[in-house]
A and B are shown apart, each in its own frame.
Chain A
Amino acid sequence: MSASEGGSRDGSSGLSRRGFLSSLGASAVTVALPVPLPAAPPPPQVVPPGEVTRVVLKINGRAYPVLVEPRWSLVHVLREVLGLTAAKEGCGRGECGACTVLADGEPRYACLTLAVEAEGMEITTLEGLMDGEELGPTQQAFADADGFQCGYCTPGQIMAAEGLLLTNPQPTPEQVRKALSGNLCRCGAYVNIFAAVERAAELRKGAGGDV
């Protein structure tokens, strides 16, 4: 319990649950400050529902031109528009991490990312870790270590682990716990997940450290 109360993630790889929360808190404070509002705020730009924008998303090394509403989340576009269903939507509001993808190599919640925002990012989903029909090393490690039960959080766990290992190939147990603290597992497979990340580090070392 004590461990969970403090601390944000060390290192720079991505957004931890707690990091996200503290940034939310900061913005809430800003809003609450008694700053006098300008007399006539500029009218907000409103995009009517149904109006679509063309974006080109780079996902798993391929370019996908898609028409999206500006309000659509990246996870919605991945799953329901492009049929890349490995990333799961567990909460839709940045609480569980089931939708974690890599954006330019860093773990990112695809439910809190708008598809229009993702233009220009190199997005990697769980599907992108595959080598044809072969599992990537991090995926193989999760299979070997039984690092899951129902498997619904697993794509997010694997992507969070992948993101960690990209920047920190030999993490300490404490670094692993923190890196995965933004990915909830209600089945409670955490101990096996930690073992899977440890095994992934070994497998990747054996594979020369590349993805």
Chain B
Amino acid sequence: MKRDEPHRYWVEEHELETPEPQQTPEPWDDTRVVGTRRPRVDAYERVSGSARYPSDVILPGMIFGAILRCPHPHARVRSVDVSAAQALPGVRAVISAFTPLSGALSAHEKLIRETLFPALCRYEGEDVAAVAADTPYIARDALRAIVVDYEPLPFVSDERDALAANAPPVRPDGNRVAAPAVYERGSVEAGFAEADAVVEGEYRTECEFHAPLEPHGCVAAWDGDSLTVHESTQGVFPVQNGLAAALGIPLSKVRVIGSYMGGGFGSKLSLGKYTTQAALLAKVSARPVKLFLTREETFLAAGNRPPANMRVKIGAKRDGTLTAIEYEATGTGGAFQAGGTSGLDFIVRDLYTCPNVHSELQDIFINAGPARAMRAPGHPQCAWAVEQTMDLLAGKLGMDPIELRLKNIPTVSQSRGDIPYTTTGLAECLRRGAEAFGWTAARARAKESTGPVRRGVGVAAGMWSSGGGGPPSTAIVKVFADGSVNLNLGASDLGTGTKTVMAMIVAEELWVDPDSIQIEHADTGTTQYASASGGSKTVPTESPAVRAAALEVKSQILALAAAQLGVEAATLELREGKVVTASGAPQEVRLAELRELRRAGVVVGVGYRGPNPQGKAVNPFAAHFCEVQVDTRSGEVEILRFLAVQDSGRVMNRTTYENQVRGGVVMGIGLGTTERRILDRGRTGLLVNRGWVDYRIPTALDVPPVLEVLPVDLHDKECNHTGAKGIGEPATIPTAPAIANAVFHATGVRITGSPITPAKVVDALTAQRRGD
């Protein structure tokens, strides 16, 4: 909501606690359902068109909202004249900071004038006015009819220019968000002094857009003083919290319904201004308001992965043992404290064992839209720099890149007081991946390629700083009178398969068909509090709570059956819709025949997520392998095959796991080869590529024909009692540097700035030929 709030994302230290589970179950050994390949429980809805996404919601009397946005990178709004817009037939509400605020709006003057429509617009796309009208077309007519008097101000549109003495200040105190964030252990001077080899380089990754297919927005409707919002969101509860705070009403008067949503990748973790605006437009017009951003608006104002400028220096002994890492990086969250350098040095601190590390991060203000967390904030950027530097170092030492990495595998989290990881699958990811990919043979074969089209093979590793999940989470499993089951959980399913995985867990414990389970989720009115689905923590957070709820309901069912059968509950088991004796004695009863269950109508089990293990770090690891073909005449890079090896603990559903990992790789291919926000630096400061034609995400033609996924499961019994670690984010972290390293292997040129475009490759090859 408040743009000036510090960037908020998944921070384990900030967790609330939920009660301990009633019983702390033993981790699974073998599983019947969990871990198998299974189509999604909501596949029918998603392929039939019956899945109702928030943008599909149609309510009686519903009208359409739209937002007027500042067309300048930096400007003061002197006045807003909405009279012509208000006079248009079909226009039902117009709100701006310059409109008299009477009636329903009078209580929200500060919110409207200071937060929703600030007079000082610090980026192209800042909100200036909002309208609601009978059709989206009339709403757009109304935006065009609004007359705004802007005073354009000097601006700076690139963080590399923003610290210059003459750079226009984005904020009164200058363009440094804060003093550099310094991390230090050991002494890098000493470390470099004892190094036999030192490599150094400068790297940059470009700013990316999340670009989920469903734009950001909602349908907001009031019944008197109660607000219901259908929102495309990763977390209904953060949106509920934000709205209640912004509007000054109790949580019980705000119901946020998520259900299906069309992608977020971090850009839909919390409340956006558009939703508060929709709620106010609905209040003024006394109509439900559908307000979804246009695609262009999502590029301007709905977040991005910040660009990163990184300098890395790594020293090592002759045998590959790292002695020092020095790292400096800058980034920008636009004109806001929006996490411009979030997570940007975690890979430096923790991926490899190294006693001497110095890191400095500088977050910088520029006149651009605010960043939002994007799939592993900071990590793919840092991996781009560190993993290319490791590749260089291997070359300098004459070592195989995999051997160099294996020499430095960490067993403890060095940046968190040397606490051990519950499992460190990094070595296994590298070893098994090298074997499955045929690394050694492929590297040798690539070197035999001659002529203008060259082959290359590269590897990169990564880890994700979160991914262990944790409290709070509360889940409810109900068994109806006939033995059929309802699962109730607050978390959103972003398309990652959350609902399917949770149904499989219930099925594992209660012996029911996952497809037969009724699932309620992501609705603040009917489900229990859950944090937003993000940080690769949904499965490790929710799965133990769901399992605990299933076990709780199971113990109640067994108690009812024990009473009915006149035996000890401990001798009973649930099998295929029946309670049977564990010893195999002939006594059994179908759930539908349990007299007390029929009398009560329902048995309810509540499960809570217990705390994470004390003094342990829970992190997913990954290694990606890539073979490319580079046409040295045109600079075109074709990815021939790709292997993603992931240690994310237990695989819950092999089908959705592989799909999600492939998706992470595809997004990494975008970072590595096609995606780049272009601001008109030094001229207009405006966004140049404001659609999918000019801002290119990978298409069906950009993915490799072979994209394999290999899970590494080290049977982590400590992380939580389902053994799952997060998968969504680690799957995209090492992709882009693996491609860059393969391109280097093919050509001998290193592309240090993303994306690897044909033009950059040709330029680098030309420089190489000239001996520059």
Which A residues are within 8 Å of any B CB, using their own CB? 1-5, 17, 21, 49-50, 69, 71-72, 76, 79-80, 83, 85-86, 88-93, 95-96, 98, 125-127, 130, 135, 139-140, 142-144, 146, 148-155, 158, 173, 176-178, 180-181, 183-194
Write out the residue numbers on chain B whose beta carbons fall within 8 Å of the beta carbon of A148: 46-47, 495
Write out the residue numbers on chain B whose beta carbons fall within 8 Å of the beta carbon of A49: 88, 137-138, 141
Write out the residue numbers on chain B whose beta carbons fall within 8 Å of the beta carbon of A76: 136-137
Write out the residue numbers on chain B whose beta carbons fall within 8 Å of the beta carbon of A135: 44, 47-48
Indicate which residue in A50, A149, A173 contacts B660 across the interface (CB closer than 8 Å). A149
B17, CB-defined interface residue at 8 Å: no
Q: Are A88 and B213 in contact (CB under 8 A)?
A: yes
Q: Are B90 and A50 in contact (CB under 8 A)?
A: yes
A145's nearest neighbour on chain B, judged by CB, is B39
Subset of 19 A-B contacts with CB under 8 Å: A1-B639, A1-B674, A88-B214, A90-B214, A91-B295, A95-B295, A95-B693, A96-B692, A135-B47, A140-B47, A143-B43, A150-B213, A150-B260, A150-B262, A181-B700, A186-B211, A188-B663, A188-B703, A189-B659
- Cα of A178 to Cα of B637 in the assembled complex, Å: 18
Q: A95-B295, A142-B47, A151-B46 are in contact. Are A79 and B56 (CB under 8 A)?
A: yes
Of B103-111, B236-244, B665-673, the one touching chain A: B665-673
Write out the residue numbers on chain B whose beta carbons fall within 8 Å of the beta carbon of A127: 49
B547, CB-defined interface residue at 8 Å: no
Q: Are A177 and B701 in contact (CB under 8 A)?
A: yes
- Cα of A181 to Cα of B701 in the assembled complex, Å: 6
Write out the residue numbers on chain A whose beta carbons fall within 8 Å of the beta carbon of B758: 1, 5
A24's nearest neighbour on chain B, judged by CB, is B693
| Binary contact track B654-688/A, C-beta < 8 Å → 1, others 0 | 01100110111111000001100000000000000
| Binary contact track B199-233/A, C-beta < 8 Å → 1, others 0 | 00000000000111111000000000000000000
B513, CB-defined interface residue at 8 Å: no
B38's nearest neighbour on chain A, judged by CB, is A146
Indicate which residue in B90, B496, B631 contacts A149 across the interface (CB closer than 8 Å). B496
A95's nearest neighbour on chain B, judged by CB, is B692
A114 smallest CB distance to B (angstroms)? 12
A69's nearest neighbour on chain B, judged by CB, is B137
Q: A86-B49, A181-B701, A185-B213 are in contact. Are A150 and B664 (CB under 8 A)?
A: no
Q: Are B53 and A2 in contact (CB under 8 A)?
A: no
Q: A95-B693, A96-B692, A150-B262 are in contact. Are A186 and B700 (CB under 8 A)?
A: no
Write out the residue numbers on chain B whose beta carbons fall within 8 Å of the beta carbon of A158: 47
- Cα of A193 to Cα of B698 in the assembled complex, Å: 14
Q: Are A150 and B214 in contact (CB under 8 A)?
A: yes
Write out the residue numbers on chain A whose beta carbons fall within 8 Å of the beta carbon of B656: 146
Considering the complex of A and B, which 3 residue pairs feature the smallest CB-CB distances, nearest first?
Answer: A86-B49, A188-B666, A152-B262
- Cα of A152 to Cα of B692 in the assembled complex, Å: 16
Write out the residue numbers on chain A whose beta carbons fall within 8 Å of the beta carbon of B660: 149
| Binary contact track B56-74/A, C-beta < 8 Å → 1, others 0 | 1010000000000000000
Q: Are B48 and A90 in contact (CB under 8 A)?
A: no
- Cα of A177 to Cα of B263 in the assembled complex, Å: 22
A112 smallest CB distance to B (angstroms)? 13
Which B residues are within 8 Å of any A CB, using their own CB? 39-40, 43-49, 51-53, 55-56, 58, 88-90, 135-138, 141, 210-215, 260-263, 265, 294-295, 494-497, 631, 634, 636-639, 655-656, 659-660, 662-667, 673-674, 691-693, 697-703, 705, 707, 758
Write out the residue numbers on chain A whose beta carbons fall within 8 Å of the beta carbon of B707: 191
Write out the residue numbers on chain B whose beta carbons fall within 8 Å of the beta carbon of A72: 135, 137
Number of A-B contacts (CB under 8 A): 194
Q: A95-B295, A177-B701, A190-B700 are in contact. List 16 more A-B contacts (CB 8 A).
A: A5-B636, A72-B135, A83-B58, A91-B691, A126-B48, A146-B656, A148-B46, A150-B214, A150-B262, A151-B51, A151-B495, A153-B213, A158-B47, A173-B705, A186-B212, A186-B263
B695's nearest neighbour on chain A, judged by CB, is A95
Q: A69-B137, A150-B261, A151-B262 are in contact. Are A92 and B295 (CB under 8 A)?
A: yes
Indicate which residue in A5, A88, A91, A173 contacts B262 across the interface (CB closer than 8 Å). A88
Write out the residue numbers on chain A whose beta carbons fall within 8 Å of the beta carbon of B214: 88, 90, 150, 152
B707's nearest neighbour on chain A, judged by CB, is A191
Write out the residue numbers on chain A whose beta carbons fall within 8 Å of the beta carbon of B496: 149
Q: Are A2 and B637 in contact (CB under 8 A)?
A: yes
Q: Are A188 and B494 in contact (CB under 8 A)?
A: no
The SS class assigned to the B binding surface is loop
B691's nearest neighbour on chain A, judged by CB, is A95
Most chain B CB neighbours (cut-off 10 Å) among A98, A191, A192: A191
Write out the residue numbers on chain A whose beta carbons fall within 8 Å of the beta carbon of B702: 1, 3-4
Q: Are B48 and A149 in contact (CB under 8 A)?
A: no
Write out the residue numbers on chain B whose beta carbons fall within 8 Å of the beta carbon of A90: 213-215, 262, 295
Q: Are B213 and A98 in contact (CB under 8 A)?
A: yes
B674's nearest neighbour on chain A, judged by CB, is A1
Q: Are B697 and A184 in contact (CB under 8 A)?
A: yes
- Cα of A139 to Cα of B46 in the assembled complex, Å: 9
A138 smallest CB distance to B (angstroms)? 9
Q: Are A2 and B44 in contact (CB under 8 A)?
A: no
- Cα of A33 to Cα of B330 in the assembled complex, Å: 46
A193's nearest neighbour on chain B, judged by CB, is B700
Q: A181-B699, A188-B666, A193-B700 are in contact. Are A3 and B44 (CB under 8 A)?
A: no
Q: Are B659 and A146 in contact (CB under 8 A)?
A: yes
A177 smallest CB distance to B (angstroms)? 5
Q: A90-B295, A152-B213 are in contact. Are A130 and B90 (CB under 8 A)?
A: no
- Cα of A178 to Cα of B295 in the assembled complex, Å: 24
Write out the residue numbers on chain A whose beta carbons fall within 8 Å of the beta carbon of B46: 143, 148, 151, 154
- Cα of A125 to Cα of B659 in the assembled complex, Å: 26
A178's nearest neighbour on chain B, judged by CB, is B701
B462 smallest CB distance to A (angstroms)? 17
- Cα of A198 to Cα of B693 in the assembled complex, Å: 28
Q: Are A149 and B703 in contact (CB under 8 A)?
A: no
Write out the residue numbers on chain A whose beta carbons fall within 8 Å of the beta carbon of B53: 85, 88, 152
- Cα of A143 to Cα of B43 in the assembled complex, Å: 5
A84's nearest neighbour on chain B, judged by CB, is B49
Write out the residue numbers on chain B whose beta carbons fall within 8 Å of the beta carbon of A189: 659, 662-663
Write out the residue numbers on chain B whose beta carbons fall within 8 Å of the beta carbon of A85: 49, 52-53, 56, 58
Write out the residue numbers on chain B whose beta carbons fall within 8 Å of the beta carbon of A130: 48-49
Most chain A CB neighbours (cut-off 10 Å) among B263, B265, B295, B701: B701
Q: Are A149 and B693 in contact (CB under 8 A)?
A: no
A43 smallest CB distance to B (angstroms)? 21
Most chain B CB neighbours (cut-off 10 Å) among A1, A80, A135: A1
Q: Are A184 and B90 in contact (CB under 8 A)?
A: no
Q: Are B263 and A191 in contact (CB under 8 A)?
A: no
B51's nearest neighbour on chain A, judged by CB, is A151
Q: Are A92 and B294 in contact (CB under 8 A)?
A: yes
A152's nearest neighbour on chain B, judged by CB, is B262
B63 smallest CB distance to A (angstroms)? 11
Write out the residue numbers on chain A whose beta carbons fall within 8 Å of the beta carbon of B697: 184, 186
Indicate which residue in B497, B636, B698 contacts A188 across the interface (CB closer than 8 Å). B698
Write out the residue numbers on chain B whose beta carbons fall within 8 Å of the beta carbon of A190: 662, 666, 698-700, 703
Write out the residue numbers on chain A whose beta carbons fall within 8 Å of the beta carbon of B215: 90
- Cα of A38 to Cα of B659 in the assembled complex, Å: 58
B701's nearest neighbour on chain A, judged by CB, is A4
- Cα of A127 to Cα of B48 in the assembled complex, Å: 7
Q: Are B693 and A50 in contact (CB under 8 A)?
A: no
B459 smallest CB distance to A (angstroms)? 20
Q: Are B665 and A1 in contact (CB under 8 A)?
A: no
B698's nearest neighbour on chain A, judged by CB, is A188
B129 smallest CB distance to A (angstroms)? 19
Write out the residue numbers on chain A whose beta carbons fall within 8 Å of the beta carbon of B701: 3-4, 177-178, 181
- Cα of A203 to Cα of B761 in the assembled complex, Å: 44
Write out the residue numbers on chain A whose beta carbons fall within 8 Å of the beta carbon of B692: 91, 95-96, 184
Write out the residue numbers on chain B whose beta carbons fall within 8 Å of the beta carbon of A194: 700
Write out the residue numbers on chain B whose beta carbons fall within 8 Å of the beta carbon of A142: 43, 47
B40's nearest neighbour on chain A, judged by CB, is A146
Q: Are B664 and A188 in contact (CB under 8 A)?
A: yes
Q: Are B663 and A187 in contact (CB under 8 A)?
A: yes
Q: Are A192 and B659 in contact (CB under 8 A)?
A: yes
